[in-house]
Amino acid sequence: MPYSSRSSLLPTLIVLAATLACTSEAPSTVGSDAAARLAQYTTIPLTADLSRLQADEIQMLPILVEAAKEMDGVFWLQSWGEPDPLLSSIADPDLRRLVEINHGPWDRLDGDAPLLPSIGPKPAGARFYPVDLTTSEFSEYVSAHPEQGPGLSSLYTIVTRGSDGSLGSTPYHIVYQGPHQRAAAKLSEAAAIATDPGLRRYLELRAEALLTDEYQASDLAWMDMKENGLDIVIGPIETYEDKLLGYKASHEAYVLIKDRDWSQRLARYIGYLPELQRGIPVPDRYRQETPGVGSDLNAYDAVYYGGSANSGAKTIAINLPNDEEVQLQKGTRRLQLKNTMRAKFDSILVPLASELIAEDQRQYIDFDAFFTNVMLHEVAHGLGIKNTVNGSGTVRAALREHYSALEEGKADILGLYMSNALRERGELADVPQNNAYVTFLASIFRSVRFGASDAHGRANMIQFSFFQEKGAFTRDPDTGTYRVDFGRMTEAVAELANVFLTLEGDGDHAGAGRLLAERGVIPPSLKPDLQRLADKGVPVDILLRQGMDVLQP
């Protein structure tokens, strides 16, 4: 991918660092398991009903898809480096496809295990930092050079090392100048077509943000737009890829079509947020914040995933923005990706439940429960606490590399708490508690299979371990199936909510690390059951056929 002279040096250094991670004579195959690894996925087309769009939105759709595609090249640089030299060196087509899927030579569904014999472990900081940088060196350097702290720890900078060993930072809009400019131009082109003023304003500000790394204004504008039928989430957003410090946002994109009928069904739940916040099962000091009143909840069909979003396990729901100031001022938007969710339910969760859930409890597995659990997970990101109770700053900053996994676990458990609380208030009559719990247990098995490199997978490992210890479910040794104890599950949900929320509220980095180390791993007793799923050919996740040729064959 071409870069201007201003941005040529740093990507070159990233590529060189990536290249040094493998030998010059990397074998072109990894053996016969490449095909088996590919078999973990099932391919689905991302289709949607375009009749829901206005004429201007139909015209904008391919332009936004082109903008989203620019995020793929950037994410390659963040996870590995330039893709072409690596891909062209791999003769085995199955292996090459695996590397493409993972945006690099590490298997995201297998704890980032190397896909090439000559490749070492994936750097914890991906390509956001010098590959030899340690957390202690970073902390010591920032302590000694506090004036550089904001730049080095920014979500939107690459950290480099000078010839004298010093650290420096370069903004994303310079490092990735070419793709940022091209994506911004496409957003501006779409904005000129948009008739909805909210969408037009958001696209204009998002284009500007890609050129400046100042994203808050566009986040606020995104929260303000309400009537749009077409949407795009684009830019550096989540920090999952940065497992060194959890500071750096990776690039991704989603192009989405709103399902207005389903969205209307969901809107009423947002009004309960302040009341639900007051009832969270934790001491008062951990629930003093008030969720933003501008939060909304909508259903969408996804038509394009780009960058980090299309690497490894595919997201089925989004909760944004991540900016804590925007969250407290405006709330968040929860986006349920209905077509992707349905695909995973039908192709993965149903066959999984037929293997691992007790026969008499399989009746409780249904799509409404799956959809609702995921929806409430996203809503629950807005509950709890964003700033520590002891003055240690934001929860994200205090927990650093542990934040993503802990926050995903908190949202899962508070989602179940919300499910029960809403049912007590006369809501969710179509999703009985038994359905919610059994479908949730099946979903734990689904997400655990994403592996230790995935924040959602690690969060689900914690839940599995905790629920097993508390007797929230039992395993029948004769059939190898699992049965929920509904009373104990309710008790365990309250206990685990308290664990997650106190760790977050206290900003307890060490405690979060211990929890993940002790419980965030697949226990030996579960591995044979997960192997049964593989032996039966139950997919781990999905691959996407997407883009305008799929939407308009």
C-beta of residue 254 within 8 angstroms of C-beta of residue 304: yes
Strand stretches in 155-227, DSSP E = 157-161, 167-171
Q: What is the mean predicted confidence (pLDDT) over 393-398?
A: 93
Residues 515-533: tens digit of each pLDDT:
999 999 888 889 999 999 9
Pair 509, 455: CB distance under 8 Å: no
Indicate if the pLDDT at residue 514 is higher than 80. yes
Cis peptide upstream of residue 321 (ω within 30 degrees of 0): yes
Region of poorest pLDDT, from 6-10, 36-40, 47-51, 417-421 = 6-10
Query: What's the chain's length in residues?
Result: 553
Q: Is the separation of the CB atoms in 29 and 189 below 8 Å?
A: no
DSSP-based three-state secondary structure for 337: strand
* Sequence-distant (≥ 6) Cβ neighbours of residue 428 within 8 angstroms: 372, 419, 422, 436
- Decide: residue 30, CB within 10 A, 0-12 exposed, 13-18 middle, 19+ buried: buried
Mean pLDDT (the chain) is: 90
Answer yes or no: are the C-beta atoms of 338 and 301 closer than 8 Å.
yes
pLDDT, position 292: 63
Judged against a pLDDT cut of 50, whether residue 489 lies above it is answered with yes
Give pLDDT, residue 388: 95
Mean predicted confidence (pLDDT) in 3-17: 36
Residues 6+ apart with CB under 8 A from 195: 54, 56
User: Which range has the worst mean pLDDT, 201-205, 350-354, 404-408?
Assistant: 404-408
Q: Per-residue b/e over 370-380, b at no fewer than 16 CB within 10 Å?
A: bbbbbbbbbbb
- The residue-averaged pLDDT of 456-474 equals 93
Instruction: Please report the pLDDT score of residue 453 as a whole number.
Output: 63
Predicted confidence (pLDDT) per residue in 260-297, tens digit: 887 877 777 777 888 888 989 899 999 888 876 567 88
Calpha distance 115→107 (Å, rounded):
6
- 188-229: pLDDT as tens digits: 999 999 999 999 999 999 999 999 999 999 999 999 999 999
pLDDT at 290: 82
* Confidence bin at 31 (pLDDT 50/70/90): very low
Is the Cα torsion angle 97, 98, 100, 105 positive or negative in sign? Answer: negative
